[in-house]
Amino acid sequence: MATPHNALNDTVKVFHFEFWLRYYFIEEREGKLYISLTEEQLNQMQSQFPDYWELAERVKDKPLSPELSQRAVVEFLQLNFEGNRFPVNTIPKILDSKDFATEMYLFDTWVNLHEDQLMQKIYGFDYWMHVYEEWKKTDQARQLAQSLVVQLRDESRTIN
């Protein structure tokens, strides 16, 4: 059975949200990095992003690490998506898919290309997703995506 397209989109959006949190709301304390949100930011986030609020709660005020980020996102997906929103075993299939790898690479590329603009102020997550989706429609992004698909296909052939 094929993975539903909305499952891929919903899954990567959770990763994007967690990245957005780390991008804007990091604070250094005693040599460690933390997601730090003011009471106003907390309230605003709860009302604007109720689907992701639990993820923000999981990482807020904990020493950040790649392991914490990955664990928090995967646990969030398992609790909220796996078997609820999507059939059982959908999330592991997505995380192992070439489509997921391509999407994450495209997002990372978009952030790197637009870092100067994104650092001018704290942009809302909805704004990020809108601008990112518009960028994906450009010739540059479509060519990059196609190149990634070919590269991942070729890599999987050499492994098998």
pLDDT digits (tens, 9 = 90+) for 81-93: 988 889 999 999 9
pLDDT above 90: residue 54: no
How far is Cα 26 from Cα 29, in angstroms, rounded to an integer?
10
The pLDDT value recorded for residue 149 is 82
Residue 119 DSSP class: T
Q: Interhelix angle for 66-80 vs 5-24, to 10°?
A: 140
The pLDDT value recorded for residue 118 is 95
Q: pTM, whole model, 2 decimals?
A: 0.89
Whats the size of the chain, residue-wise? 160
What average pLDDT does the segment 52-79 reach?
Answer: 91
Mean pLDDT, all residues of the chain: 90
pLDDT above 80: residue 140: yes
| Residue 35 β-bridge partners | 26, 60
The pLDDT value recorded for residue 1 is 45
pLDDT above 70: residue 107: yes
Q: Residue 143 class from Cβ within 10 Å (0-12 exposed, 13-18 middle, 19+ buried)? A: exposed
The pLDDT value recorded for residue 23 is 95
The pLDDT value recorded for residue 14 is 96
Q: What is the pLDDT of residues 23-39, one digit of tens each?
A: 999 999 999 999 998 88
**Local structure of 45: helix, strand or coil:** helix
pLDDT above 70: residue 132: yes
What average pLDDT does the segment 13-29 reach?
Answer: 95
